[in-house]
Amino acid sequence: MNKLKIYIAVIAVALVLFQGCDGLLDVEPQQSVDSEDAISTAEDVKSVLIGAYDAMGDGDLYGGWIQMTGDLLASEGNSSFVGTFFGPREIANKNQLYDNGQLTSTWVEAYNTINITNNVLANLDLLDGADVAIVEGEAKLIRGMMYFELVRLFAAPYEAGQENSQPGIPIILEPTDLITEANNIGRSSVEEVYDRIINDLTDAKDFLPISNAVYGNSMVASAVLSRVYLQQGEYEDARDESSRVIEEGNYSLARTNEIGGSDYAAAFNNASNTPEDIFAMQNTNQDGTNSFVTFYAEDSRGDIVISQDHLDEYEADDDRLNLFYTVGGDIFTGKWDELPNSEIDADNNVSLIRLAEMYLTRAEANYRLGEDEGDTPLNDLNRIRERVNLPEYLLPTDFDLDDILRERKLELMFEGNLLHDLKRTQSDVGSRPYDDPKLVLPIPRRDLEVNPNLCQNPSYSGTQC
């Protein structure tokens, strides 16, 4: 990106850069953008947009740590963090402090990504024709996804049917090129943040084409919207968005991978997208990060080990069990492993949204609604079970909501979904209730110190909201 000379200013809520898993490197914050470095052409805008994709794939974001942070918070009874990195270990033990390096890094990098998208959106007038809608749609898709992950991790859970006036996160909609007191933005409510997320994702859905190569498209926006609506308990909307993705027909459950093996294994550890991937972070030997491999794979660090209690949740013939393996008495998941082709010097792609999730979302939403729009819960659930060698349910009375939720857990395990599913269903997270304050991350210390309009989540140091 030789055209991308613009300094992506660090917004007032994030004035430090994070280096590694355990240390913070203080830097002098840049206070302005030189005029010679400003975006001035259509190619500049497109280059900055590519920079947003690159930023969201950072190891501390969708390169792994957004998802693994949720998994560590929901790890009790499922997995353990046995590594030496202090930040992740705090999160796994639910004793994270507000100066925790790992969570600070995720917060900083997410807001940096948002600022990149805001720079894109502020310069749409430099574009012509169809490029305007596509670029705007992609930028809003990325921004909406970042706000969704931030509010789920750093704010109390959304409560279906309630006002949701609890503090959310700061909403920044303009690019930061000069850091002043005006940049000291307070926390919008959870309801306001969700409204912004839905606005951004709906625009993305409407503006983007059905297919857009490896970039975000209209189907990706619908898939993310299905997650948002499900989190809110808006089951009809969640069902409709997931069904839209399914019925479009662009995706199918993966059946083969680069080294053969089971049908379920085909969805993982691939150098390129599978037919099942609705959206994935692309990794090559030039760029990209897969922190899952670093921390889950035994032959890498192997810092996250799986509990026998978790394996005991599967039915005996469940093909998903074949992805687990034991080394030295420790159990590891094979969902995240080194690429099977040793000639490729790159991490495998990070799958963010798979078609299997859309079937499970539609099944759950239709079951709750007592409807069969798109297809019956019976058929959708059986599609998932058939692939993993489990007997199909014969009648709708053969299963209930708990069976659907269990299928969802086991299908999507170690992909960053469990914590949020437990919160939205108001289920215990291990020995903790779903609304335990330690299942919400603290607002980072540095941001509280530089922004007097920020307030802290319950149970953490700093001025309380």
What is the C-alpha separation between 394 and 379, in angstroms, rounded? 9
What is the C-alpha separation between 107 and 99, in angstroms, rounded? 12
pLDDT at position 196 is 98
pLDDT at position 257 is 53
Closest CA to 24 of 451, 424, 445, 448: 445
pLDDT at position 174 is 93
Q: Are 277 and 223 in contact (CB under 8 A)?
A: no
Sheet holding 330-333, edge to edge: 79-81, 304-306, 330-333, 324-327
pLDDT at position 401 is 98
* Tens-binned pLDDT, residue by residue, of the chain (465 aa): 333 333 333 333 333 322 234 333 333 333 333 333 578 999 999 999 999 999 999 999 999 999 999 999 999 999 999 999 999 999 999 999 999 999 999 999 999 999 999 999 999 999 999 999 999 999 999 999 999 999 999 999 999 999 999 999 999 999 987 767 778 999 999 999 999 999 999 999 999 999 887 799 999 999 999 999 999 999 999 999 999 999 999 999 998 654 445 689 999 988 889 999 999 998 876 777 889 999 999 988 899 999 999 999 999 999 999 999 999 999 999 999 876 554 444 578 999 999 999 999 999 999 999 999 999 999 999 999 999 999 999 999 999 999 999 999 999 999 999 999 999 999 999 999 999 999 999 999 999 999 999 999 999 999 999
pLDDT at position 30 is 37
pLDDT at position 313 is 98
pTM of this structure: 0.91
Q: How many residues does the chain have?
A: 465
CATH code, 17-336+355-450: 1.25.40.390
pLDDT at position 124 is 97
